[in-house]
């Protein structure tokens, strides 16, 4: 229970509803544990007594009324208890998922490199739902079931003591403690299985998500059978884990009922020996049986806790993950940067034993169009990703206009940067709203001007809905060139002093690329530009070229200087020219 205690804070805003639900639960528990056997004791002897005086119609009606009254109280209280608990649970789930989603927004990119999308989806949906069920079930049954148990045991003790003294009390209740043994045994088995189920469910969701994101590749390479077999294996592994959990979980109720039957049998033998009256025996058995129901529920509650622990372990890996990229306590506002960048003895590694950048020092003056070239894995993208603080260096520092990036507010730093990636992402929204994210306060005229500058306006107007066209998931309704031009239009609209281009024209045909190159000449004026170059044709206008190799900048200069003086640059350039 201590593991769950911090998360009961999710119930605090709904404590009024939760209190009402618990009160109804206690009422239902008392009606079941005490009310039912008390009804048996009061009603049956009156109805079936042979030597009693005949009852008047009114008295008979009052006696018979005991039965519906007890069941109405029990039924209404149970209904209200269930309804209010579900209402609280739904609101808890909403808050929990919101916190999970909010945490994902601030976690560093390195976290997402270590965790698959499908697994994170499973944690945010299935695991959050399981924790919600556990919290509300525990909050409800931790009071309701003990109330029912205490009510029935109190009735048993009171009735048995008045009939036969302490001996009958001890005989009747002797087996109750034994009912706890199956709960402990099953609980130990379940705790191992619960986490395994949640992990396997994450694996199934991961395969599902990956497959849906690669529908074209699956068909292009005829992978339908392979993907089906892969999903089948993962699904069967999940089913085996669920069956193992179910094997122990479903064994709990029959075990407790068998122990209950043994207890009832001993009570029957004792009743025969002491010549206990039949009505008293039936009353005690009713109360005894009522006491085993909350014991079974407490056993189920124990199982629910084990499931919740499995979900909690997985959720905490996200909820408690360190947010390493954040504002310093004394971070300063910086509305508009000049654009001068400096890397001072910067080193970086995704893994401790695999350095990606090593002791890099370079100054890029404001207004420089700087191209980053080098073999794959040389550190070009990592170098550029340090500028918007997608990552922080493990040693050294990066400065903007002389200020350490870590001393600036993240919001101010990033609004001074426009990023156009090689594979731009569009949200499943209108074209207009996709452009507007670059500058939310922009006017419609400003948005359309940016689209014209990126040579996107004409094709946008060609759609029946124009700028109101829904682009589909990740821009699925647009061609690669259209998506790229919309990404460029965002950069035009943002008008940031620093521009990062990750081969921004790679998805365009030659005609569009030529037009975009002309537009980029206007865009880069007065801006600091980092071009991650995969094709050397895109760097002809660069004023400075940085050559990367194995995490180091091995040469800087213009194309002419580097081609004549740097063997690595010359080999990369000549090989691409020959290939072209």
On whether both 309 and 357 belong to a single domain, the answer is no
Q: How many residues does the chain have?
A: 580
- Classify residue 327: in a domain, yes or no: no
Would you list the DSSP string of 141-152?
Answer: HHHHHHHHHHHH
On whether both 271 and 352 belong to a single domain, the answer is no
On whether both 287 and 351 belong to a single domain, the answer is no
Q: Which residues of 351-373 are buried (b: 16+ CB within 10 A; e: fewer)?
A: eeeebbbbebeeebebbbbbbbb
Torsion region of 475: left, alpha or beta (phi above 0 gives left; psi -120 to 50 gives alpha): left
CATH number of the domain residue 569 falls in: 3.40.50.300
Question: For residues 31 and 67, is the Cβ–Cβ distance under 8 A?
Answer: no
On whether both 292 and 373 belong to a single domain, the answer is no
Quote the tokens at residue 339: 């654009």
Task: Please give, one letter per residue, the 3-state secondary structure of 482-548.
Answer: HHHHHHHHHHHHHCCCEEEEECCCCCCCHHHHHHHHHHHHHHCCCCEEEEECCCHHHHCCCCEEEEE
On whether both 265 and 348 belong to a single domain, the answer is no
- Classify residue 498: in a domain, yes or no: yes
pLDDT digit of tens for each residue in the chain (580 aa)?
Answer: 566 677 677 778 888 888 888 888 778 777 776 666 666 666 666 666 656 566 667 766 666 677 777 778 878 888 888 788 778 877 877 888 888 888 888 888 888 888 888 788 888 888 888 877 777 777 667 666 777 777 777 776 776 666 665 566 556 666 666 666 666 666 666 666 766 776 777 778 878 777 777 776 777 677 788 888 888 888 888 888 878 777 777 776 677 777 767 776 776 776 667 776 666 667 766 776 666 677 767 766 777 777 777 788 888 888 888 888 889 888 989 888 999 999 999 999 988 778 899 999 999 999 999 999 988 888 999 999 999 999 999 999 999 999 999 999 999 999 999 998 877 888 888 999 999 999 999 999 999 999 998 888 988 999 999 999 998 887 888 887 788 888 889 988 998 999 998 876 655 566 666 666 776 777 777 889 999 877 776 776 688 999 999 899 999 998 888 888 889 988 888 887 776 5
- Classify residue 104: in a domain, yes or no: yes
pLDDT at 377 (0 to 100)? 85
The phi, psi pair for 219, rounded to 5°, reads -75, -35
On whether both 408 and 457 belong to a single domain, the answer is yes
On whether both 407 and 268 belong to a single domain, the answer is no
Spatial distance between the Cα atoms of 225 and 203, rounded to a whole number of angstroms:
19
Question: For residues 431 and 471, is the Cβ–Cβ distance under 8 A?
Answer: yes
Last residue of a domain, one of 319, 349, 364: 319
- Classify residue 330: in a domain, yes or no: no
On whether both 486 and 384 belong to a single domain, the answer is yes
- Classify residue 180: in a domain, yes or no: yes
Last residue of a domain, one of 319, 353, 371: 319
On whether both 285 and 357 belong to a single domain, the answer is no
pLDDT at 504 (0 to 100)? 62
Show the domain range for 478.
341-579
On whether both 302 and 347 belong to a single domain, the answer is no
On whether both 315 and 346 belong to a single domain, the answer is no
On whether both 300 and 351 belong to a single domain, the answer is no
CATH number of the domain residue 30 falls in: 1.20.1560.10
Q: What is the CA radius of gyration of the chain?
A: 35
Q: For the chain, how many structural domains are there in total?
A: 2
Question: For residues 36 and 290, is the Cβ–Cβ distance under 8 A?
Answer: yes
Last residue of a domain, one of 288, 319, 350: 319
Residue for token pair 């048996």? 40
Identify which of 509, 423, 430 has the alpha carbon closest to the alpha carbon of residue 463: 430
Identify which of 60, 66, 58, 33 has the alpha carbon closest to the alpha carbon of residue 48: 60
Spatial distance between the Cα atoms of 436 and 2, rounded to a whole number of angstroms:
47
- Classify residue 396: in a domain, yes or no: yes
Q: How far is CA 61 from CA 50, 65, 184, in A?
A: 19, 6, 47
Spatial distance between the Cα atoms of 150 and 134, rounded to a whole number of angstroms:
23
- Classify residue 328: in a domain, yes or no: no
- Classify residue 519: in a domain, yes or no: yes
């Amino acid at each position: 229970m201590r593991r769950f205690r911090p998360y009961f804070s999710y119930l605090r805003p709904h404590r009024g509803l939760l209190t009402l639900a618990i009160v109804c639960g206690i009422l239902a528990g008392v009606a079941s544990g005490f009310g039912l056997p008390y009804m048996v004791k009061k009603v049956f002897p009156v109805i079936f007594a042979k030597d009693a005086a005949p009852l008047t119609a009114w008295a008979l009606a009052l006696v018979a009324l005991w039965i519906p009254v007890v069941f109405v109280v029990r039924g209404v209280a149970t209904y209200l208890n269930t309804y209010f608990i579900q209402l609280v649970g739904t609101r808890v789930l909403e808050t929990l998922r919101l916190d999970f989603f909010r945490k994902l927004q601030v976690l560093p990119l390195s976290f997402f490199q270590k965790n698959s999308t499908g697994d994170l989806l499973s944690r945010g949906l299935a695991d959050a739902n399981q924790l919600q069920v556990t919290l509300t079930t525990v909050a409800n049954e931790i009071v309701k079931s003990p109330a029912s148990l205490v009510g029935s045991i109190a009735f048993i003790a009171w009735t048995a003591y008045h009939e036969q003294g302490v001996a009958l009390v001890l005989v009747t209740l002797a087996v109750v403690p034994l009912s706890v043994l199956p709960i402990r045994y099953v609980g130990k088995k379940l705790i191992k299985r619960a986490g395994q189920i949640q992990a396997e469910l994450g694996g199934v969701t991961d395969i599902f998500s990956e497959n849906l994101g690669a529908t074209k590749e699956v068909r292009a390479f005829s992978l339908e059978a392979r993907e089906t077999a892969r999903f089948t294996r993962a699904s069967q592994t999940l089913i085996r884990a669920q069956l193992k959990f179910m094997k122990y979980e479903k064994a709990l109720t029959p075990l407790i009922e068998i122990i209950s039957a043994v207890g009832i049998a001993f009570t029957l033998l004792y009743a025969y020996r002491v010549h206990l009256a039949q009505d008293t025996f039936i009353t005690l058995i009713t109360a005894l049986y009522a006491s085993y129901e909350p014991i079974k529920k407490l056993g189920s509650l124990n199982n629910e806790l084990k499931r919740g622990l499995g979900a909690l372990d997985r959720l905490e890996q996200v909820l408690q993950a360190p947010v390493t990229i954040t504002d310093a306590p004394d971070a300063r506002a910086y509305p508009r940067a000049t654009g001068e960048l400096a890397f001072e003895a910067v080193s970086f590694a995704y893994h401790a034993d695999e350095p990606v950048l090593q002791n890099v020092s370079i100054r890029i003056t404001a207004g420089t169009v700087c191209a980053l070239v080098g073999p794959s894995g040389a550190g070009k993208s990592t170098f550029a990703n340090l500028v918007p603080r997608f990552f922080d260096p493990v040693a050294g520092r990066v400065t903007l206009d002389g200020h350490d990036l870590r001393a600036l507010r993240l919001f101010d730093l990033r609004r001074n940067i426009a990023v156009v990636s090689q594979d731009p992402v569009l949200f499943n929204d209108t074209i207009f709203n996709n452009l507007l994210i670059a500058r939310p306060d922009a006017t419609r005229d400003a948005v359309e001007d940016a689209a014209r500058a990126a040579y996107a306006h004409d094709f946008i107007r060609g759609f029946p809905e124009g700028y109101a066209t829904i682009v589909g998931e990740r821009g699925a309704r647009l061609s690669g060139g259209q998506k790229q031009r919309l990404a460029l239009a965002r950069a035009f609209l943002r008008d940031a002093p620093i521009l990062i281009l990750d081969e921004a024209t790679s998805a365009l045909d030659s005609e569009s690329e030529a037009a975009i190159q002309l537009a980029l000449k206007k865009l880069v004026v007065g801006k600091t530009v980092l071009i991650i170059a995969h094709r050397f044709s895109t760097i002809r206008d660069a004023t400075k070229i940085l050559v990367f190799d194995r995490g180091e900048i091995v040469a800087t200069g213009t194309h002419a200087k580097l081609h004549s003086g740097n063997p690595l640059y010359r080999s990369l350039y000549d090989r691409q020219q020959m290939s072209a």
